[in-house]
Chain A
Amino acid sequence: MSEDSVAEIRDLRVEVGGRALVDGVSLRVPPGKVVALVGASGSGKTTTGLALLGEYPAGARVSGEVRRAPGAVGYVPQHPGAVLHPALRVGVLLRDIARAHGRDRDDLRQALADARLPEGEALLRRYPHQLSGGQQQRIVLAQALLPRPRVVVADEPTTGQDPETKRQIAERFAAVAARGIAVVLLSHDLDVVRALADEVLVMRAGRVVESGPAERLWRAPRHEWTRRLLDAEGVPPADGVGRGVGGVLPVGGGGVGRGVGGVLPVGGGGVGCGVGGVLPVDGGGVGCGAEGVPPVEGGGMGCGVDGIPPADGDGIGRPVLEVRDLTAVHGRTPVLRVPRLVLRAGECLAVVGRSGSGKTTLGRCLAGLHRHHDGTVLLDGVPLPRSLRHRDRERLAAVQYVFQDARAAFDEHRPVLDQVARTAVRLRGADAHAARAEALDTLARLGLTGDLPHRRPGALSGGELQRAALARALLARPRVLVCDEITSGLDTVTRRALLDLLAGLPADRPGLSLVLITHDPQTARLAQRTVVVEAGHVTERAPGPLTVCCEVGHKGSRVKSLEGSEAVVRRLGRHRRTRRCP
């Protein structure tokens, strides 16, 4: 190993069943530097990252060299849910790590703070399932930082985080690197990469297609694929969602910036979220008043809300799903209050908010997965059974939910294709053969081709599974599709394609309503309306493209988070530079 690297991979090839997951990858990680791996979903980032830890898929044939300096390694896995023991309070492992590495309580507290878990100590007493996706991710991050490792391999450490938290985490990583710790960052989040990376490797189909110092790479990407990756970022959906809803393009004319480029993604004006031109904010739109505040709506709570034009032929515009007086609890703690929320046919609703604010809980309430709640969820004006166990096929099919943790939501014993196809069989009565064909087709449209669908979930990458999970829900031909962070594991190009697909859906399936729970501005931009969840309260609403950028954490402010993070990044950059050259 070279003197100045804490970890090194040379010419790594990992082969499973004759297929190379990773081929010819070389990589050097100098201390105090951030080496980022970017690339398409399924391109081999996780495989490479795990190789650094000396771990390979079962039955893999490995060649090449992997070296690591002795000492602790931190690892932030892509699916934190899988590595958190379901029956142990999250504090147990953290304390064990602290003990194993001679860290004391203060160090632990520090690690929690570094991982942006200020309320950490209270969370330590919780079981993993009592944490939100983002909180789980920050817990594993804290685990990684706690032993003061020589190198941290962070696989998508920011996917589940809201922009503000993401910014803070990025800041922490910078600080960590500044302490001389090497960071291997595997990420789709180019903002974070851009903000942190000293060196970037771009991967595709198991190979490193381009690598080099970050600045150079951003400035002058050489490889075609890199360029596509960078270009795809921030490009608006190829086609407006609005098309289905009265032909109004939802995206403002203003070029949606390449995030960091400083261009604000603020839509120009014509945000066509309304149905038939009516902005949903007024009338019977999104009735998300604060607690106790009666819905801003004129005409009572009925579904045929006044002020909304009658539905057109397809029923588009008619409220499909309505939430009334919903209070969801975990144990005895109320975690979500929604006095009123209406979702219309053909509409796309984004749900944004800080990590742990209750977005997933909202989605699960709609889907009948979280039955501990008061209030009602109405489908076509008829209350839906609280638990999906009591929903019949039709109603199950009507409201589908795509799980935030795709890996946990699959049966690890059966091939993905079988599982995806079952939806059509069970919920639509399709015959097995047709269901398989349809599943294959849908999966292919999501970029999952070849033998991939025939593998078991364990042999799929995070992003691939995420898409499979979406396919599974789509096969139900739902009327309401709740997508919980379905783009978090996708590279810009794939995400783009996926969003295009989603955007195109209403065309194929008139009346399909989407609820997109997301932290990703680009994804949220797909929506005509945005709901902000803050600390369990649905506190803000505004036309889609605007709110996405809201920094929710700051009361009332509408600072664009991306800009904010950009600012931070710049500042960080300076900071680091100064630190390095005293």
Chain B
Amino acid sequence: MSPGSFVARRLLLGAAQTAAVVLLVFALTEALPGDAAVALAGDQPDPARIAALREALELDRPAHERLADWAAGLLHGDLGTSLTSGRPVTRYLADGFGPTLLLAGLTLALLVPLGFGLGVLAARRAGGALDRLISSVSLAVYAVPEFALGVLLVTVFALRLAWLPPTAVGYGTDLLGHPAALVLPVLVLLARPVCSLSRLVRAGMVDALAAPYTAHARRYGVPERRILWWHALPGAAAPAVQQLARTADWLLCGVVVVEALFVIPGLGTVLLNAVAERDVPVVQGLAVVFGVVTVVLNLGADLVAHRLTPRAGAAA
């Protein structure tokens, strides 16, 4: 199958998948106890007030009708308006997207070289002291929960040493104007994926470095670096790339802990709030975004995997 038609089919399937994501999320939010009216009422759950709210928010209409209306709007590029605030959902997404994208982008930009670099380094010295050091440290960091790591980093670098701001509070969306505020969140975000990525890279690389084709490239004095990155890595990269896609997805879809800890109002926060408020249109809008992001990332990862196993189509 040619890559072109592969992509086309997958994108088509992707549209269906996104629809499925939206449906799933809609069904799940509907299944949650309470609705926007209940959530709005909060600790004053006066039944009459809830009923009035329900009517005002048109929540008394059947679920399928609301979904259909929303879907019809989507076809015109209209993601609807928030139940809670009446503002357009696109504004929620736009506001949340900036910080999230920035964080995710920065993290990925560091993650890829770091994860692959450490993995390759560990694999080169597999069984040696360096490998053990890298593995143990990254695993230990991985096993420390994010909040603990975050608190630790903040305490040391922001509060004790005062090198960096402890949170991004008050910086609004203008995070780029305060690069120092991004250092700690990015570090915390990096901590876990670096480990998972480097472990997968290491695993693949240990096998790839022991493979005869690597030895063959060495025989001809191909520079070690080139061998590592061009000859060994392709044999090891497919799972790592999948992991990377998952990480990117995770970064985009909800790095809730980091957002909360460092007061960065990204998409994760928007999602949490929207779910708490049962703000179905916002949740739906996010589901569309997450659906599309996931589809695209997975497709990307699959294309790489596809490319790395060219024999797959030909083998019996």
Contacts and interface: CB of A to CB of B under 8 A. Distances in A.
Are these two chains actual partners, yes or no? Answer: yes
A250 interface: no
Interface in B140-188: none
A97 B216 contact: no
Interface string A55-82: 1000000000000000011010100001
A423 to B, nearest CB: 17
Contacts of A130: 314
Sorting the interface of chain B by its residue count into under 10, 10 to 19, 20 to 34 or 35 or more gives 20 to 34
Interface stretch (B104-112, B278-286, B304-312): B304-312
Nearest to A83: B216
Interface in B219-247: 219-223, 226, 230-231, 234-235
B6 interface: no
Contact of B230 (A55, A77, A92): A92
Contact of A101 (B213, B221, B234): B221
B311 A127 contact: yes
A388 interface: yes
Contacts of A372: 314
Contacts of B221: 72, 97, 100-101, 147
Interface stretch (A206-214, A295-303, A363-371, A571-579): A363-371
Contact of A93 (B231, B235, B310, B314): B231
B129 interface: no
Given A87-B234, A93-B231, A77 B222 contact: no
Contacts of B292: none
A82 B308 CA distance: 17
B220 A100 contact: yes
Nearest to A147: B220
A46 interface: no
A72 B220 contact: yes
B316 A93 contact: no
B300 to A, nearest CB: 17
A85 B213 contact: yes
> Which size class do A's interface residues fall under?
35 or more
B77 interface: no
Contacts of B212: 77, 82-83
Given A369-B316, A370-B316, A371-B316, A87 B235 contact: yes
A38 B309 CA distance: 38
B222 A97 contact: yes
B316 A389 contact: yes
Contacts of B308: 87
Contacts of B315: 129
Task: Name the residue among A72, A93, A140, A370 with the largest chain B CB count within 10 angstroms.
Answer: A93
A72 B226 CA distance: 18
Nearest to B1: A331
A441 interface: no
20 contacts: A73-B219, A83-B212, A84-B213, A85-B217, A86-B309, A86-B310, A86-B311, A88-B213, A88-B231, A92-B230, A93-B216, A96-B222, A96-B226, A96-B230, A97-B220, A97-B221, A143-B220, A147-B220, A369-B316, A389-B316
Given A100-B223, A330-B314, 15 more contacts: A55-B215, A72-B221, A77-B216, A83-B213, A85-B231, A86-B310, A88-B213, A93-B217, A96-B217, A100-B221, A129-B314, A130-B314, A371-B316, A387-B316, A388-B316
Query: What 7 A-B pairs are tightest by C-beta distance, nearest first?
Result: A83-B216, A369-B316, A85-B213, A127-B310, A129-B311, A82-B212, A96-B222
